Structure 1
Amino acid sequence: MNPTKQYKSKRQEKLARKQLQSRLDKSSFATKTAFRDAERNFKSKCPPPDFTNVIDFDNAENCSEEIRREIVEIELSCDLGNENKLFFEKSQKAYLLKSIPGFIFIRNAFPPSTQKQIIECCLRDFAKYPNIGNLDVHYILPKDGLWSLHERIFRKELDPDNEECRIPIKAHADASDTLSQYPASSNNMSSDSESSLHLPISDISTTASSSPRSTRKPSPPPSPILPPDKLIRKLRWMTIGYQYNWPTKTYHFDHRFPFPSIIAGLSNAVVKAIEGVGIPDGGFVNEYKASDWKAEAGLVNYYQLKDNLMAHVDKSEVNMDAPLVSFSFGHTCIFLIGGPTRDSPPKAMYLHSGDISIMCGPCRSSFHGVPRILEGTLPFYLEKDEDDPSWDV
């Protein structure tokens, strides 16, 4: 083996061999489950991960025979572009997985203009009062949002040394203290469907770490002098609609804020399009009625390149029969989805910018996660744009 082709030095090659041997010796792991093994594979930097059996819906016809046997291409009940003009006008390809009943995948559903529009909404409109995010626990954020402040500094409309740019730290605050400062809502949650946005965008945002693991490192203390352009990179998640309490893993039914109409409209169209789809010959068929569905709670996850989302099950919703709709924008990531326990071997797939993944029926109880964001995969249309200076922020 020529180390210069794969490794930068002999030392790096030796370290890689040692890590590979350790990875193969599963008896040395404290946690031994099929899902954890998959996470370790994709999180590995040296040696690089094994991508052999990763499902690529963008290139399904060239996947291995094993993967092709697993994938079932389906026709949606209606065309997304006819339901909402923010989708591509052309018909979208959709797929099921035979071994994961209830999982539905719609590839490349959004044109670049819509992707940029939603990304801007997630940073400028959703990540501010009255919605709650991870930064609200430690900082007293401006009501116009941290992103608005960052934009003003970037455009030289505001001096970074200005008093307005200093973000005060809360003293002895927790999640419940944060919620108590907002007015309660008298609305009751009905269908409690959740719409989740995943934004693996390395140059502007970071990831939610909503792992339910019991052994979790404590959060680092907040920095009193962190400028807005640095603090924005610590943004992990924001809740929209009904607010979520992370310490208790429950929704605050008395704290419901307006759900973004743009996300509600897109989610409604997706739920209508997947009604009745499935594998009729003894397989799963989605019988959930779109007329019963309403977008009321959502989570925006912000990822940096080194971030990940560990295996978990979304089980806080009152109605677990309602589909969970997820939109992905930015860098490509590895998505894992398995079964009702971590012992079930998960399927790995690429989530590209503009893809939609839906979990419904039995799939709602499946463990899933994002072990890795893939470097160098940002679509060209999401990079800096000389014709759109506002996008350079």
Structure 2
Amino acid sequence: MPDPQPISNRQRKIMERQAERNREMTAAKRAETRTPFREAELQFLSRHPPPDYSKALDFRQPPDLLLADPKIKQVPLRKQMGQLSELFGVQPPSTTVHKNEYAYLHEDHPGLIYIPNAFTPSAQRTLIKACLKNYSQHPNKSNLDTHYLVPDSGIWRLHENVFTGVQSLEDPTVYVQRKAAGDANAGGYGSDDDDDNADDNDDDHSKGKVNLEKDKSASSAQPRKKSKPTQRSVRTLVPITDGTPAVPDHIPKVDPEPSAQVPILPPAQLVRRMRWITLGYQYHWPSKTYHFDQNAPFPKELSVLSKAVVEAVNGVGPFPYPSEDFVAEAGVINYYQLKDRLMGHVDRSELNKDAPLVSFSLALASHM
């Protein structure tokens, strides 16, 4: 091939100006579709320039630093959560109060009640193990069930077998097979299917999230079924009526089709691709609503934990709710890798807007 003709300085400047205009137009177009919340969130995700965290609220600060903000109040809990459930663990005594005897409120966010250090490391390990090993089993569904023939015992057991030497990577039964055989265009539950503020043009996408007829998915030993070709799945925009999302009765809640393009991976790598598990009433991510005809048993210990939090905070915030009326019926377990993040969103799928929404954050620090 002949060498390309060199361009003049004038042509180069014209190309650079055009590229700059294209970048500005793209940025303006993206900005038109963003909410003020999304714009504020992106300020903390910026790489260049680095984000300014001076206005961010970090509840991990010592109490005296937190309470220097006049909008933050420390309030005593009605009951010690360790007395309500042993899964919270026994906290070491402090010079003032036990670590889980108080909570923080913020004047600008009525209804937000933050309880620091509710779990001991031992209690966290117990719950993290249950999230990985027990709650990830069928009939609870995960993002992996869209594309893979996940065994009823889940992925963790296969990973455990390989790690302990019970099975070898030479054993083909440790590899979970795909559901689809030849559909290259099928979509599925991806990184931002459960993200209310997804923006495909932004960097560092969240890699997923952790809110039935009994789903007896086929094991990896069963033959794979061919799926019909389909267009790539598009996330549904759901109309909001009186603050409650609703899918019209004549529109079925269709789950994404499996894709034949997902890789066959060893269990240790496939576990890292597990982003969420739905508990109780199964959640339909595209429409942001629940499958009320698909209900798996809700874990008893998580129900006890949630009820204990509601009992401990009842009357603490501006919206009291009697714990005897609280029943945990649905939930999502989100799994995060080190670089993952949860996009800002609003939980508005619940029918009872008066009942508290309880969230637990669990993490184990790694040691070098």
TM-score (normalizing by structure 2): 0.67
| Residue 115 (1) aligns with residue 124 (2) | yes
Cα distance in 2 between the residues matched to 1:84 and 1:33: 40
Map of 1:74 onto structure 2: 75
Letter in 1 for 2:316: V
Provide the C-alpha distance between the structure 1 equivalents of 2:304 and 2:331, rounded to a whole number of angstroms. Answer: 13
- Looking at structure 1, the residues matched to 358 and 302 of structure 2 have their Cα atoms a distance apart, in angstroms, of 10
SS at match of 2:279: strand
When residues 302 and 286 of structure 1 are mapped into structure 2, their CA distance, relative to the original with a 3 A threshold, is same
CA shift at 1:134, angstroms? Answer: 0.6
Identify the residue that residue 38 of structure 1 maps to in structure 2. Answer: 40
Instruction: Work out which of the two has the higher radius of gyration on C-alpha atoms and give 1 or 2.
Output: 2
Q: Does residue 293 of the first structure (1) align with residue 326 of the second (2)?
A: yes
One-letter code of the match for 2:114? F
Shift of 1:29: 3.3
Equivalent in the alignment of 2:145: 136
Instruction: Please state how far the C-alpha of 1:383 moved relative to its aligned partner.
Output: 4.8
The alpha-carbon deviation at position 52 of structure 1 amounts to 0.9
Q: Secondary structure of 1:116's match?
A: helix
Query: For this pair of structures, how many residues does the alignment match?
Result: 276
Whether the aligned pair in 2 keeps the contact of 1:75 and 1:94 (CA below 8 Å) is yes
Indicate conservation of the 8 Å contact 1:60/1:68, yes or no.
Answer: no
What are the residue-to-residue correspondences of 1:42-61 with 2, within 5 Å?
A: 42-61=44-63
1:264 and 2:303 aligned: yes
Q: Distance in 2 between matches of 1:47 and 1:219?
A: 40
Specify which structure has the bigger relative contact order, considering alpha-carbon pairs within 8 angstroms and separated by 6 or more residues.
1
Kindly indicate whether the alpha-carbon contact (under 8 Å) linking 1:129 and 1:143 is maintained by their aligned counterparts in 2: yes
- Kindly state the Cα deviation for residue 326 of structure 1 after the two structures are TM-superposed: 0.4
Counterpart-to-counterpart distance in 1, 2:193 and 2:62: 30
Any conservation in 2 of the 1:207–1:302 contact (CA below 8 Å)?
A: no
Residue of structure 2 in register with 1:246 after alignment: 285
Q: What is the CA-CA distance between 1:254 and the residue it aligns to?
A: 1.8
CA contact (8 A) 1:43 1:49 kept: yes
Q: Report the CA distance between 1:385 and its aligned residue.
A: 8.3
- Tell me how far 1:248 sits from its aligned partner: 2.3
**Equivalent residue for 1:167?**
176
Higher share in helix: 1
Whole-angstrom distance in 2 between the partners of 1:271 and 1:167: 40
Say whether 1:147 aligns with 2:150.
no
1:40 shift after superposition: 1.4
Q: How far is 1:101 from its partner?
A: 0.7
TM-superposed CA distance for 1:286, in Å, is: 2.3
How far is the alpha carbon of 1:310 from its aligned partner? 2.1
Q: Aligned-residue CA RMSD in angstroms?
A: 3.3
Cα gap change, 1:227/1:33 in structure 2, threshold over 3 Å: closer, same or farther? same
SS in 1 for 2:333: strand
Q: Which moved more, 1:40-49 or 1:224-233?
A: 40-49
Q: Which residue of 2 aligns with 1:83?
A: 84
Match of 2:350 among 302, 305, 317: 317
Amino acid at match of 2:69: R
Aligned counterparts of 1:385 and 1:306: Cα–Cα separation in 2: 17
Q: CA deviation at 1:309?
A: 2.2
Task: Name the SS of the counterpart of 1:29 in structure 2.
Answer: helix
1:226 has 2:265 as partner: yes
Q: Which runs of 5+ in 1 are unaligned?
A: 1-17, 175-205, 279-284, 331-381, 387-393
Structure 1 length normalisation: TM-score?
0.63
Residue 63 of structure 1 deviates from its aligned partner by 3.8
Distance in 2, Cα, partners of 1:312 & 1:58: 22
Decide whether aligned partners of structure 1 residues 207 and 60 sit closer, same or farther in structure 2, where only a CA change above 3 A counts. Answer: farther
Cα-to-partner distance string for 1:368-391 (whole Å, 9 max, x where unaligned): xxxxxxxxxxxxxx35689xxxxx
C-alpha deviations, 1:261-307, integer Å up to 9, x for none? 121111110000111113xxxxxx22211111001111001112222
Question: Structure 1 counterpart of 2:291, which letter?
Answer: H
User: Among residues 206, 210, 213, which one is paired with 2:194 in the alignment?
Assistant: 210
Match of 1:98 in 2: 107
Asked if 2 retains the 8 angstrom alpha-carbon contact of 1:209 and 1:309, the reply is: no
2:360 is paired with a residue whose SS is: strand
Q: Give ranges in structure 2 of 5+ residues lacking alignment.
A: 1-19, 92-99, 184-189, 202-256
**Equivalent position to 2:136, from 115, 121, 127:** 127
Distance 1:173 1:27 in 2: 36
* Conservation of the 8 A alpha-carbon contact between 2:140 and 2:278: yes
